[in-house]
Structure 1
């Protein structure tokens, strides 16, 4: 990673972005939220790391970065569900990469997104398919006073919109943009306990004792 130019798309608070900088990469984080970018800059400063952060919509990344190209583009857990158009996203990624550059996607599996949240009081431990696995049916509207973080309740705007994307949609979008898929790896271990009966694993993540189902996937591709 040392000496490489690395771009983290939809970096949010930039905590994963810092990991690339710690490994010697020339690192840029991009996010559409001004509040997130400001917070990420503060975290990087406290950590003593030289990271550049840019506020822009991911679809405008090529223009916002003034045509700069990268050795590695990374997008992390929970990012793709906020994008309505994966073909357009894949085209942007291809334009951001140098010839021979690599994209790394680490994303929550669409099966996890299709399963319901933790059981309500009085409900059993069964996993229920409550949402679409495949995309194409439009945005999923949510109205909630709390985000996925453990922070305080949201005040004011509580509406959010997400789009379902099956793994096939992700693969086909990248192939359509001229990318080569190197492999696809599925894992049953997400980094947080989605359901109460999940157990702590040796790597420090979580898994269901049964059944073993994909909850996370990794996909490296190259230009």
Structure 2
């Protein structure tokens, strides 16, 4: 007991003198690193660094998917740096879709603001989990797994997503295959898709090879 009682003041003393940083507003003029952006000098930090208004209005709809995705990641909202979260706004027109994609660096929590969204993800065991999420409801997409969102019914929908990282990353499967210079023969070999179909999809999405 006496050794334990002796250690308590020592631990308290060590904790009280530990360096604790409340925040690290990103200096986005520098390069991002695996540990995040370097901190902006605290003397230059203002209240506006902790407020972001970019999700207050609908995003610009992309015709191909009839949807808009407006991010509030660390590059748009530097106050998120080092805090382990970020957000985005999703505007879906009627029939709008966010194609199969993944976020390598974060789990996603989707909250539907208006309308209905059919969404789902594919597990590592190739099990598919799909649900139609209504206004006020939430759905979770585990980190790194392929998932999608589609406006359900004849109306559009609006949702907000929150991520467990200030920079969750994004890779859209269709764009990785058909908007890149990934060669058609290799795509055909690795996906079993018909080469003519691959060429057609590359023509739509702007890929080459």
Which range, TM-score by smaller chain?
Answer: under 0.3
Larger Rg: 2
- TM-score, with length taken from structure 2: 0.26
- TM-score, with length taken from structure 1: 0.25
